[in-house]
Each structure stands twice: as structure tokens, then as C-alpha cells.
Chains A and B, each alone.
Chain A
């Protein structure tokens, strides 16, 4: 693979269920990010990780958790899904440097009922 992959592509989830969205990159980028994108709003940062073993909270972290056990993987977990978490979720990564351009995965479309 080349780039970032996300799984699943889409999911319908009952409220109250636990769900993990997967993200894997093969570019050896140090930093990884999780965003949600909702109609009429800009991308909003949920959590990020500057390097393996460290994570940080973004703008909208409540109801979500992440882990970064290694460089390549950055899963996002919804402990108990609620309808307001219906969104499109994008994972991104960037390498350290002056520009640190973020590159995005294809996204996961999540519907919580």
C-alpha cells in the first residue's frame, strides 16, 4: 500500500455501541491526526499524535479516544456512540519539517442511529 488507509469505508452503528475506526499509514510519518467533517463546518480536529507513544486532544475530543502504539497505526475509538457522532471521519499524517503538509486517508462515513 502507499499512503493512508482507513477502515471501514462506512458503517451504520446503533447508539450505545462501541466502535473503533482504523487508520494505517506506510509513509513513516511521525504525526497523525483524526478529524471529523460535518456539512457546513470546517474539518475539526479530534485527537492527534506527534510521535508514537504520545497523543493529544484536539478541538472536539469528548466521546473519543486514541492510541499510538507504533508509527503506522492510529485507531480512533468511540466508547459509546451517540447520534451527534454521525459524521465523516478522516485520518491524516504528516512528516516533521518546515511545511508539515497533512495527507489524508479516504475517510469513514459513520451513521449512528
Chain B
């Protein structure tokens, strides 16, 4: 079967750095996405990786290792507004997105 694993919940301090991991086992790989979802709202796109390595976008970076079936999302200089769930999704060989259950990130002052 296909599987995406992420930690259920993480806590971090305002101004700090946090890394959210995602491991996947899917039938094929055609890209990995990270989305942010605030409580009661829709998921919004954060980043996309299809080749190995690090993609940086301001305070957010995403890393991919296809050989290890592993990605992480790195959030720097955490702000209270970063409190949200972070969803990892992999596009499989059928070009469908397989979603993880999400990691709820709690930021404390």
C-alpha cells in the first residue's frame, strides 16, 4: 500500500527553527508537495520538490531525498502565525496526490 508518515504534533518556540519530517512509500514518485493549513481553513501551497536537494523560499525550506523516501520542511525564525498543520503529499505513478495526515505545529511565545 501507499503510505505517508509525519509526526502528529510538534511544539516550538517563537523565533526558533523547526524541522518537520515526512517519509513516504508510494507506487512511483512524481514530486512532493508541502502545504500549510490553518485551523478551519483550506490548505495553501508552500513548496514543491521533484529533484533531490534543498529548495529555499524565504523562511521556509524543503528538502528531498528520493533514494531514502524522505523529505523535511524547515521553518526558520518562527512566528506565532506559523501555528498550523503542515501537510506532506506525494504524487504517485498515476499522477494522484497521496496525503499525509499532517503535522500540527504549536508555537509558544
Contact = CB atoms under 8 A, between A and B. Distances in A.
The contact size tier of chain B is 20 to 34
Contact of B42 (A42, A44, A90, A101): A90
The contact size tier of chain A is 10 to 19
Contacts of B43: 43, 90, 104
B42 A102 contact: no
B48 A42 contact: no
Contacts of B42: 90, 104-107
A99 B48 contact: yes
Contacts of A106: 41-42
Interface of A: 40-45, 48, 58, 90, 98-107
Interface of B: 4, 31, 33, 41-45, 48, 50, 87, 89, 91, 95-102
